[in-house]
Structure 1
Amino acid sequence: MFEKIPPNVMIIATTIMAIGMGIVVTTLRAKAAKHPASVKKILLPPVFMSTGAVMFVFPFFRVTGAQFLEAIGVGILFSVVLIWTSKFERKDGNIYLKQSKAFVFILIGLLIIRVIGKIVLSSTIDVGALSGMFWILAFGMIVPWRIAMYLQFKKIQKEVTE
């Protein structure tokens, strides 16, 4: 199915999708800061994203063990930057995600790094495996980030109730 699509078209299409997703995430993050945070809002994005793992049912997207470790390692590394910029604050009896001016620039920077990485790696790694690796990278980034957010949220929530 995916094997019939020329690699150059796949690279361009997935790059455009990544840029679009980056814009959506940046917009959602800006809007989220205007509403109180909740456990559901923190933990549901990784759950929803996990459905993307279905892609690995198709051999086209499968990765080697080394590729998996590389992708998950880079994702965890990137998550540190997101954890660093995600802080909560109490306002009017609610807990809000603080807006960080740096977050948008960091998100754009990470997106640029991913796009450059995809372009460079597409010459040596099959397009399908590369797509799988970038999904693993994104999942490896969002899970630790959201766990850290959850722990910080619960800590602030506990302080409020004490």
Structure 2
Amino acid sequence: MDWMVAASSVAAVLMGIGALFVRMRAAKRPASAKKIIMPPLFMSTGSLMFLFPEFRVTWLELLEAAAVGMVFSLLLMKTSKFEVRDNDIYLKRSKAFPIILMSLLVIRIIGKLVLSTAIDVGELGGMFFILAFAMIVPWRIAMYRQYIKLKRQTPINAIHAPQIKTPLS
């Protein structure tokens, strides 16, 4: 079972590094409501793991994991801001985001190593899914609200309207 904890920790590190690259690439392209909403929807399919008894958690474990995830999401919310550039809304690069993301990853790995001695690996997987989901959902809701607010404040809507060419233009 220890190899499973180690393997999942390595996978978490690789996914964290992947998330950093995705975030850096995303800052180069305009944001959209779809790009903000889709990740939690795709991640929600992971809840199918709870169909299997080995992944099920107690109500207390669910509450603990969700509470930790929501606390972690506050840090991500602080580093996710949007800006208007070239008549589009972009995710603003934050120098603190990679540090915070990696710090949260290290905290999660340490937590997993400590908890793996007392909690079954399947339940632990369920708890860490809940933690991650409880972290991404509030963060993305905050991003979506910020995006919509900025979109309403700027005349961007007119820019994205189809340009009609006339014979004189």
TM-score by length of 2: 0.91
Name 1:4's counterpart in structure 2.
none
The number of residue pairs the alignment matches comes to 156
- 1:16 matches 2:16: no
- 1:139 matches 2:130: no
Higher helix residue share: 1
CA distance in 1, matches of 2:18, 2:66: 23
CA distance in 2, matches of 1:56, 1:25: 25
What is the SS of the residue equivalent to 1:54? helix
CA distance in 2, matches of 1:148, 1:79: 10
CA distance in 1, matches of 2:11, 2:102: 14
1:148 aligned to which of 138, 142, 145 = 142
- Which ranges in structure 2 are unaligned for 5 or more consecutive residues? 157-169
Larger radius of gyration: 2
- 1:86 matches 2:69: no
- Write the letter of the residue equivalent to 1:122: S
The Cα shift of 1:161 comes to: 3.2
CA distance in 1, matches of 2:27, 2:141: 18
1:30 aligned to which of 9, 13, 24 = 24
1:72 aligned to which of 66, 77, 82 = 66
CA distance in 1, matches of 2:140, 2:71: 14
TM-score by length of 1: 0.95
Identity, % of aligned pairs? 57
Structure 1 outlier segments of 4+, above 3 Å:
none
- Write the letter of the residue equivalent to 2:89: I
The Cα shift of 1:16 comes to: 1.0
- Write the letter of the residue equivalent to 1:106: I
CA distance in 1, matches of 2:80, 2:50: 31
CA distance in 2, matches of 1:17, 1:62: 21
Name 2:48's counterpart in structure 1.
54
- Which ranges in structure 1 are unaligned for 5 or more consecutive residues? 1-6
- Write the letter of the residue equivalent to 1:102: A
CA distance in 2, matches of 1:59, 1:161: 52
CA distance in 1, matches of 2:149, 2:107: 33
